[in-house]
Amino acid sequence: MRDQLALQRIERQAEREMTAFLRATAEDFGSERSRQAGDSWLHAMHSLAWPRDNHERFFRRVTILAMSQLLHGMDGGSSSALSGVRSISKSPR
């Protein structure tokens, strides 16, 4: 029972993180890019080693990797799209 509850909590964390990523992608890039973002997110999740704990941090890493892959694909492999993300992340809130 305890393992089942832990698994459900991890699933909810994954769903929340992926849903937020897909919504943001759809708003910023449109629905077609959002579908590609979902594929990128799943690919990124399967490409990383699963941690024993701190799954929230793991799913955040998945999102960052998926966004990086998505921007890399949009930009034809150059770094200008990624540098825009870096400059946004450094701006004051």
Domain ranges, ordered by start, for the chain: 2-90
- Whether the per-residue pLDDT at 93 is higher than 80: the answer is no
**Which pLDDT does position 32 carry in this prediction?**
85
pTM of the model: 0.74
pLDDT surpasses 60 at 88: no
Mean per-residue pLDDT of the chain: 81
Give tens-digit pLDDT for 5-38. Answer: 989 999 999 999 999 999 999 999 888 888 899 9
Q: Return the amino acid letter for 43.
A: H
In one letter, which amino acid is 84?
Answer: G
pLDDT exceeds cutoff 50 at 86: no
